Amino acid sequence: MRRLAVSLAGLATVAIAVSGFAPGPSAAAPQIDPPQFDPPRTDSAPSYYSLKLPAGLTVADLVRDGYDISHGHGSRPTLVATTVEADRLRDRGVILGKTGNVYQPVIRSATAGTTYYGGYHTAAGHEQHNAAVTAAHPDLVRLYDIGDSWKKTNGQGQGGHDIQALCITKLTTGDCALNSTGKKPKFVLHAQIHARELSTGELAYRWIDLLVSSYGKDAAITQLMDTRELWVVPMANPDGVDVVASVPSRPILQRKNLNNSAGGCPAADAGVDLNRNSNFQWDPQEGGPCDETYPGTKSVSEPETIAIQGLLDKLYRDTKGGVGEPAAANTTGVFLSLHSYGNDILAPYGYTNTAAPNKAALVALGKKMGGFNGYPVSTGDGGVGYFAPGATDDWLYGTRGVPSYTFEVGGGSGSCGGFFPAYSCMDSTFWPKNKGAFLYAAKAAATPYGTLP
């Protein structure tokens, strides 16, 4: 999701801090134990609900009041709430229908430490994988440390991570040199900037494996690796992934990075939304320090944003003028930022309903990718019901002209819906649906505004 209000789920203390909640005896939240390994389910575990609002109350009102509500394309809004929060909404006249559980039954993985929640990879799991494929395929993979996470920068040596990027191609002289002048067009896949969007990092993991295992075996992928630089950032927010994975069978709903320097928030609500922190249309109105869409004290305030913008700035030349001017017809490259959920492809601009100057071409390419995963394409707040100023994809298109998209992976309900789909959904739906879209995007990177493949 690109716009979510304060995550209330899982931590009862949060509700008291959110505007719109009146603390008092009747609002006293039940005591929740601090996170621990495999805690028992409590009666305030979050669930998904459909909403029917009374006259005079809108979804936007509830989002401003701190509720975690999302829209899938063409579908009704979905609420993530604990039983306490659901009761408060019922008191306001909202009719709620429970549509599913946030948590799915988990089959414990045999590789504790590198996986959690049935098989999703931890930050350490991704880092081991990145190192392993780089070591195993020196002719195909270059691994880069593109910067530090907030905790590594500010944590006085207490944890944190390098942000890692892989360049995958059949390496020849001048390839993967972190510049915009190489001869191979560049496709960048960017995942888990919102840490709780579990399926996204896993899709990046599988994409890496598909590429390195297919060279010389699959003719189409071999050809792609001979002619493209395929960049992958599997975890744009690794500190957040550490929090999400800290309770292996019941992941934490951590969206933002771990920057708590603004103060005044419960620990669970602190952090900056890295997908609101770019310096294209950055908007301080997006939220305060405790909100899930807090854009930071200024644009590019976060080390993770510096790392990602720094990488993309090196990889892509600027072929575009101002906000209203189109990219040059010979622009190369495609960028995908993976998010969940909603089964959507979002094309620029996401900060406004004013059409991007290349809108027709951006939508045309989006529809081609949608032919593989079945997701419809929308722009502005169409389909999702919110704007996303300061997002990564708008920044790259808006400032460089590179076709850039958000994929919202998965639906809003069922065992494969929401933030925490069962791991089996990777095999049953997410990977088979999106693999073709990624391959297509890579192919299209040569002439994204020209004749599409």
- Cα–Cα nearest to 102, from 126, 81, 75, 127: 81
**Interface of this chain with Zn ion, residues 175 to 194, rule: CB under 5 A:** 194
* Segment lying near Zn ion (by CB under 5 A), choices 160-168, 221-229, 234-242, 335-343: 335-343
Which residues have CB under 8 Å from 22's CB, separation 6+?
Answer: none
How many residues make contact with Zn ion (CB under 5 A)?
A: 3
CB of 6 to Zn ion, least distance (A): 15
Measuring CA to CA, which residue among 68, 124, 121 is closest to residue 254?
68
> Which of the stretches 118-126, 149-157, 205-213, 338-346 binds Zn ion when contact is defined by CB under 5 A?
338-346
Q: Edge-to-edge strands of the sheet including 47-52? A: 68-71, 77-81, 47-52, 95-101
Contact 168, 178 (CB under 8 A): no
For residues 6 and 211, which CB has a smaller minimum distance to Zn ion in the complex? Answer: 6
Shortest Cβ 374–Zn ion spacing (Å): 19
Segment lying near Zn ion (by CB under 5 A), choices 29-37, 115-123, 195-203, 276-284: 195-203
CB of 71 to Zn ion, least distance (A): 13
Residue closer to Zn ion, measured from CB, 146 or 409: 409
> What number of H helices and E strands is found in the chain?
13, 14
Could you give the CA distance from residue 425 to residue 346 in angstroms, rounded to a whole number? 22
CB of 252 to Zn ion, least distance (A): 15
88 vs 433, beta carbon nearer Zn ion: 433
Distance CA 183, CA 175 (A): 8
Q: How far is the CB of 440 from Zn ion (least distance, A)?
A: 22
Stretch that binds Zn ion, among 209-217, 331-339, 346-354, 368-376 (CB under 5 A): 331-339
CB of 1 to Zn ion, least distance (A): 5
- Stretch of 65-73, 153-161, 332-340, 345-353 contacting Zn ion, by CB under 5 A: 332-340
Is residue 443 near Zn ion by the rule CB under 5 A? no
Q: Which is nearer to Zn ion, 405 or 449 (CB)?
A: 405
Asked if residue 233 lies in contact with residue 187, where contact means CB atoms within 8 angstroms, the answer is no
Integer Cα distance of 138 and 155 in angstroms: 33
- For residue 182, the number of C-alpha atoms closer than 13 Å in the C-beta half-sphere is 25
Nearer to Zn ion, 73 or 194 (CB): 194
- Toward Zn ion, which CB reaches closer, 201 or 401? 201
Measured from the CB atom, the residue of 229 and 394 that comes closer to Zn ion is 394
State yes or no: cis peptide before 205, omega within 30 of 0. Answer: no
Question: Minimum distance from CB of 391 to Zn ion (Å)?
Answer: 9
Of 127 and 197, the one with the shorter C-beta distance to Zn ion is: 197
Q: Smallest distance, Å, CB 78 to Zn ion? A: 14
Q: Does 339 bind Zn ion (CB under 5 A)?
A: yes
Cβ proximity to Zn ion: between 278 and 358 the closer is 278
b/e code 214-224 from CB counts within 10 Å (16+ = b): bbeeeeebeeb
Token pair 């929060």 is found at: 85
Do 281 and 322 touch, CB atoms closer than 8 A? no
d(CA 270, CA 194): 14
Task: For the CB of residue 2, give the shortest distance to Zn ion in the complex, in Å.
Answer: 6
Parallel, antiparallel, or unpaired: how do β-strands 162-168 and 141-148 relate?
Answer: antiparallel
In degrees rounded to 5, what are phi and psi of residue 274?
-65, -20
Residues 196 to 215 in contact with Zn ion, rule: CB under 5 A: 197
The binding site for Zn ion (CB under 5 A) comprises: 194, 197, 339
